Chains A and B, each alone.
Chain A
Amino acid sequence: VKTRMKEYRARAGLTQEKLAEIVGVRRETIIFLEKGKYNPSLKLAYSIARALDASIEGIFIFDDEQI
């Protein structure tokens, strides 16, 4: 999954630590998500989208070939 999380997080003025605290995950998980090296569950994707005030498809770009 490609992601625009870093961009949205910067726009929301949140640090990785703060975002991790809001969505209830470790900071490491945010790092993995931002680098596109972890595919979140729908629940986590929804929590992140809500915390960043954006839509899931706006943050996470699904590659049709990988689905």
Chain B
Amino acid sequence: VKMRWILIAYAAISILGLMIMLSRENVYVVIALIIGFLLLGHRELWSLIRYRRLPVIDERVKNNLTSAMRLTGSFFFIASIVLILLLRFNVFRDTPTGLIISGQLVVLGIVYLVGYHYYDRVQPNLGERATHWLKICLITAGLSLSTIALAITLHNLVSYLFGVEEAFFFILGLLMAPAVLAVSLLGSLTIFIRGLFGPTGQGEIQ
């Protein structure tokens, strides 16, 4: 019952946000809110259309929702800090603020969706070993992404300070780290998909 009220409150806040943004003619945010709403509530909407009732929110679903929301919250916190820093250094010069906010909203919806499916299907389907490899792949992806940013900054710094075209950080930031990033992302995606379409919960014969 509590979870239902949370969903109703979420829908009401979304509609309110939608109306405010519409009145301010901020079309990007309105589109993002609708996409975000569809991504977050697709199961509930589908159940309402098909069965004319909200799906049962049992303890397993509740745990998965809580974990996914926690993940999305952490992502929102980190993404906001990064976004503020990027805005502070004027990285998005001519990009409308509405477009930036809407991009963040859509990404949040996607993070929630991926998170929910991870806790709902992927994690139970994967063994300990596969889960361990998924963690390694994701950590490697995160580290290589940070390495790209760091290497580019260091390359520019060294080139500026010494007046020479620095090669090591250039190769690291533009060749090696992106290659590691691509491999680790591909690995994560492969393990994730394997878990998503694993044996559990796929139309079991009763």
Q: Which residues of A contact B (CB under 8 A)?
A: 15-17, 20, 24-26, 28-29, 31-32, 34-35, 37-38, 40-41, 43-44
Contacts and interface: CB of A to CB of B under 8 A. Distances in A.
B206 A44 contact: no
B206 A15 contact: yes
A25 B204 contact: no
Interface string B176-206: 0000000000000000000000011100101
B139 interface: no
A30 to B, nearest CB: 9
18 contacts: A16-B206, A20-B56, A24-B56, A25-B56, A26-B55, A28-B60, A29-B58, A29-B59, A29-B61, A31-B204, A32-B124, A32-B200, A32-B201, A35-B200, A37-B124, A37-B125, A38-B60, A40-B59
Contact of A26 (B60, B125, B199, B206): B60
Closest 7 CB pairs of A and B: A25-B58, A37-B124, A15-B206, A29-B60, A16-B206, A28-B201, A31-B204
A26 B58 contact: yes
Contacts of A40: 59
B64 to A, nearest CB: 10
Given A25-B60, A29-B61, 16 more contacts: A16-B206, A17-B206, A24-B58, A26-B58, A26-B61, A28-B60, A29-B58, A29-B60, A31-B200, A32-B60, A34-B204, A35-B200, A37-B124, A37-B125, A38-B124, A44-B59
Nearest to B199: A35
Nearest to B120: A28
Contact of A25 (B59, B200, B201, B206): B59
Contacts of B204: 16, 31, 34
A40 B60 CA distance: 8
B206 to A, nearest CB: 4
Contacts of B201: 28, 31-32
